[in-house]
Amino acid sequence: MDSMAGALLDAQVDLNPHQIDAALFATSNPLSRGVILADEVGLGKTIEAGLLIAQKWAERKRRILIIVPANLRKQWHQELADKFGLPAMILEAKSFRQASKDGSTNPFDATFSNGSGNGLGRDKIVICSYQFAAGKAQAVKDVAWDLVVVDEAHRLRNVYKPDNKTARILRDALSHTRKVFLTATPLQNSLLELYGLVSFIDDRVFGDLDSFRTQFSQLRDPGSFEALKQRISPICKRTLRRQVEAYVKYTRRIPLLREFKPGDDETRLYNLVTEYLQRDSLFALPNSQRQLITLVLRKLLASSSFAIAGALESLIRRLQQTLDEKAAPAPLIDELNQDYESLDETADELGAEAAEEEKIKTAQQIAAIRAEIADLDGFRQLAISITENAKGIALLQALKVAFVRLQELGAAKKAIIFTESRRTQDYLLSLLSKTEYADGVVLFNGSNNDPISRRVYAEWMERNKGTDRVSGSRSADTRAALVDYFRNNENPGGTIMIATEAGAEGINLQFCSLVINYDLPWNPQRIEQRIGRCHRYGQKHDVVVVNFLNRDNEADRRVYELLDQKFQLFDGVFGASDEVLGAVESGVDFERRIADIYQNCRHPNDIHTAFEQLQLDLAGEISDAMLNARKSLLENFDEVVQERLKIAKRDAASSLDRLERLLMRFTRAMLDGHAEFEGDALAFTLTHVPSVITNMGDVSGEHIPLGRYELPRRSEEAHIYRLQHPLAQNLLRAALRQPLEPTRLHLDYDAYGLKVSVLEALRGQQGIAAVQLLRVESLGATEEYLLAAGWTDHQALDAEITEKLLALPGHAESLPRVDTPPTQAALSSALASSEQPPLDFAAAHVAIPEALRQELAGQKAVIIGNIERRNLGLFSDETEKLDAWADDLKVGLEREIKELDRRIKEIRTKSKGAATLSEKLDAQKDQRELEGQRDKKRRELFTRQDEIQARRDRLIDELEGQLQQNIVMADLFSCHWTLT
């Protein structure tokens, strides 16, 4: 637990025991090539991964890659910044090209300071989508990653299938990295999916696919079942919601559906645009992007007349530019993206390619384009003439009903309205500005550059000037300002945020209990993310979810029924289940199937048939057999889990409390005279940056702001003081550089303020204390500080008493200097190898009595013994794994030989019963041929066994190399002490 304590301290989130338990599981085996964290939906797998990332970051192992679905990139970016204070960058086509232009040979590796300078470089975690990582697989492979996190990793579970190209490309690119997979559904349709994910993590857990099928495809044999469970238990960890109910309180989702009937002009517009999109040939839509753009236009058509009017204007302008030939038309996808902000992500998921402009050649084509422009202009004029949308009127009615429901629930009158269109967002702002909600409306989108947002940002900047809340990024600070405004504004009529899809990614709104889907996405995962902005850990009330339904549109009705009844998105405690969301490997693929129904089905019967087929396709999302297999293989008894979580909670609280006190005591000592500390010493106000920092030639104190500091998870109205904060890091570096003086510590028992019986007997005594550093390099580096203290008669105190003694307050008295002890050179060399500045060890040494040296040697022996026992256990586990892997590889060949033996026996029987000489000769020939095949297979088996054994031996040699110990022991300091 102590190894994780720094990450726990820095986290700006209340951690639950199961999250800490998962992080400890992932770090428990330094030989592991990765883990699968498979908690049920809603248990915070992102937080678990964040702890692992924060721990790597603290160890200065900062080559970290996060691969996620495109629509989760911003959310991860924001979560790392908000909850862990970690910097990250989203790498996609545009930023990749820019980095390459700027001279980077590999933009995936371009963000790292590579240990240069003062160690406070601009390292950043890299976030990218699945498609982008696969498209740049060689660049990914060329980086020596310290950790790779893959979210929604069930997308990779079919990696064993030859046609799953993306998964297979990523498996090759990440084959030598330590990986963490996050998924609630590691097992959906077949045990082979579990084979795929586990083998992606570590290809030495199982042999090949055929041997896995032979041994584990049928789990009726209890022995095979237990063998499989034993194989995957070191890699896969799953916690259930019912197991953590003591720590996580859940609220419900309450659905509210409002039906509306479009006006005659709205219906006519819908039918005209639908007919246009169903034409066989369109000049306005590039052929290579027609599917993508058709999907987007249909979403804008369903959003509002204002949204589709703007899109039609873009189509007309593009066609007119084509005719004029004065300039190349602007890419249509770029124009539409200004309104439909999720377009880039949808294009990324669909793999849409850039459009190539077709040259207009004939008079016939020119005439057809002019006719198409005339049609589009007619549609646009109709759209512009519609000044009131029936769905907008339904929204006003829904708000009244929903706010009444919030009052009944005791929740604040706050609502977030989601739309997929910027133009619809502007329409809703105009609509609400004429109601009692006018003074409480704020927008949230990709640019946040409207007058209201600029005013909110300016007020927020003034209010938070000089605090840690100001990041320096206008985009990030504007987002924070708008969320604060939404949280704190108490407009009597109600406070409303109108947000676009892309704009609201990554924000947490658990103070809001009303989610309104003005536009309903077809992607169930996107809906879940929307509702999850509010219905999440920390929400104190049930969440009302409002949806709208066009009662005259049969396709709309069937989509809503599917999302509501099949996916169960809008009702209950947990929303969409693991099983159903897991059935949709890609939400965008599901969205595309619905778009195809709208595009190709022109009659109610066609729509009915298509949706029935879609329902059938989803019906087999997970069989009872797979549910039982998942439960038995991946889940543990509730009592066992709950007991483990109790221990994790207790140990985490103890380590966190100890580290917080140590950090603040150290800070108080280093900032003496430069800061004012509050009563509990868990917060302070920095009045000026101390000279111990500014005097370091390679470090500037300019980036360390003055003002109030507090530890994480407090009021959030001050600078968040973490171990990784520049102030703490610079104080640590300054302390390491300070010369150590020969010292007598005058320890004051009364000043401690608490009764410690074992120390009362020592009052009036004096003696010598010593501190040594033990560094053991074996499967990573372990550093331990050994403390020993003795009386004047050189009798050593118990180690626990020594720790209590040296924790007492007091003051130091300088003594005459002596020569530097020779052991310091070894220590400086050891520390230099760990990327830390070497300590400036001055003559701070007094002779260490033999009794104290024996005590220190005893502590050293205990630590080394523990490390050796750990390594022995790890070595045994790895050799057992390798033995099982080697046996697996032999299974396939042995199975083939057994099959040949069976066929030879059949032919012998047939030969004995042959009625004619000809039949008997034919049988003998067949037998001889099969015996030849069998003998060949036997020789192959012997050869393969030798090859497998040689591979196993090489792996064992590699393992032995990792287990070699390099031990460095050095005196840090020794001093006199007195206790009064």
Q: Residue 291 domain-assigned?
A: yes
Residues 210 and 273 in one domain: no
Q: Residue 605 domain-assigned?
A: no
| End-of-domain residue from the set 204, 220, 247 | 247
Whether residue 225 contacts residue 232, with contact meaning beta carbons closer than 8 Å, is answered with no
Instruction: Supply the CATH number for residue 189's domain.
Output: 3.40.50.10810
Residues 191 and 59 in one domain: yes
Low-confidence winner among 225-234, 409-418, 464-473, 789-798 (lowest mean pLDDT): 464-473
Q: Residue 611 domain-assigned?
A: no
Alpha helical stretches, state H, 304-362: 305-324, 332-337, 343-350
- 836 pLDDT more than 70: no
| End-of-domain residue from the set 385, 403, 424 | 385
Query: Exposed, middle or buried by CB within 10 Å (0-12, 13-18, 19+), for 49?
Result: buried
Residues 219 and 266 in one domain: no
The b-or-e profile of 153-176 (16+ CB within 10 A means b, else e) is: bbbbbbbbeeebebbbbbbebbee
pLDDT (tens digit, 9 = 90+) per residue, 187-221? 766 778 888 899 999 888 888 887 888 777 666 66
pLDDT (tens digit, 9 = 90+) per residue, 709-731? 888 776 667 788 888 888 888 88
Residue 832 domain boundaries: 740-980
- 105 pLDDT more than 70: yes
Whether residue 406 contacts residue 412, with contact meaning beta carbons closer than 8 Å, is answered with yes
Other beta carbons within 10 angstroms of residue 499's beta carbon come to 25
Q: Residue 48 domain-assigned?
A: yes
Measured between alpha carbons, how far is 352 from 357 in angstroms, rounded to an integer?
15
795, two tokens: 């009798």
pLDDT of 504 = 65
pLDDT of 831 = 41
Residues 867 and 953 in one domain: yes
pLDDT of 840 = 38
Residues 239 and 275 in one domain: no
Residues 232 and 276 in one domain: no
| End-of-domain residue from the set 247, 277, 296 | 247
Measured between alpha carbons, how far is 258 from 438 in angstroms, rounded to an integer?
22
pLDDT (tens digit, 9 = 90+) per residue, 658-708? 788 888 888 888 888 888 888 666 788 888 888 777 776 555 445 788 888
The identity of residue 841, as a single letter, is: F
Q: What is the 3-state secondary structure (H, E, C) of 896-951?
A: HHHHHHHHHHHHHHHHHCCCCHHHHHHHHHHHHHHHHHHHHHHHHHHHHHHHHHHH
Measured between alpha carbons, how far is 17 from 23 in angstroms, rounded to an integer?
10
Residues 206 and 332 in one domain: no
Q: What's the rounded mean pLDDT across residues 526-545?
A: 84
pLDDT of 843 = 39
Residue with tokens 């297999």: 629
Q: What's the rounded mean pLDDT across residues 228-245?
A: 82
Quickly state the pLDDT bin for 471 (edges 50, 70, 90).
low
Q: Which residue has the higher pLDDT, 202 or 922?
A: 202
Q: Residue 277 domain-assigned?
A: yes
- 971 pLDDT more than 60: yes
Measured between alpha carbons, how far is 881 from 29 in angstroms, rounded to an integer?
14
pLDDT of 941 = 76
Q: Residue 854 domain-assigned?
A: yes
Residues 846 and 970 in one domain: yes
Quickly state the pLDDT bin for 837 (edges 50, 70, 90).
very low
pLDDT (tens digit, 9 = 90+) per residue, 538-559? 788 999 999 999 988 888 888 8
569, two tokens: 């998105």
Measured between alpha carbons, how far is 433 from 754 in angstroms, rounded to an integer?
61
The identity of residue 502, as a single letter, is: A
Please count the structural domains in the chain: 3
Residues 147 and 6 in one domain: yes
pLDDT (tens digit, 9 = 90+) per residue, 560-608? 887 887 666 766 655 554 444 545 545 556 777 787 888 878 777 887 7
> SS3 of 516, please?
strand
pLDDT (tens digit, 9 = 90+) per residue, 238-260? 887 777 777 777 788 899 999 99
Task: Give residue 270's Cα distance to chain centre.
Answer: 40
Q: What is the 3-state secondary structure (H, E, C) of 761-806?
A: CCCCCEEEEEEEEEEEECCCEEEEEEEEEEECCCCECCHHHHHHHH
Measured between alpha carbons, how far is 309 from 423 in angstroms, rounded to an integer?
9
Residues 235 and 301 in one domain: no
Q: Residue 222 domain-assigned?
A: yes
> Across the chain, which distance is largest between two alpha carbons, in Å?
113
Query: Exposed, middle or buried by CB within 10 Å (0-12, 13-18, 19+), for 326?
Result: exposed
Residues 169 and 236 in one domain: yes
Whether residue 551 contacts residue 261, with contact meaning beta carbons closer than 8 Å, is answered with yes
Residues 763 and 817 in one domain: yes
Q: Residue 770 domain-assigned?
A: yes
Q: Please report, in angstroms and rounded to a whole number, the separation of the first and last CA atoms in the chain.
A: 35
Taken in order 594, 600, 604, 606, the sign of the CA dihedral is: negative
Residues in the chain: 980
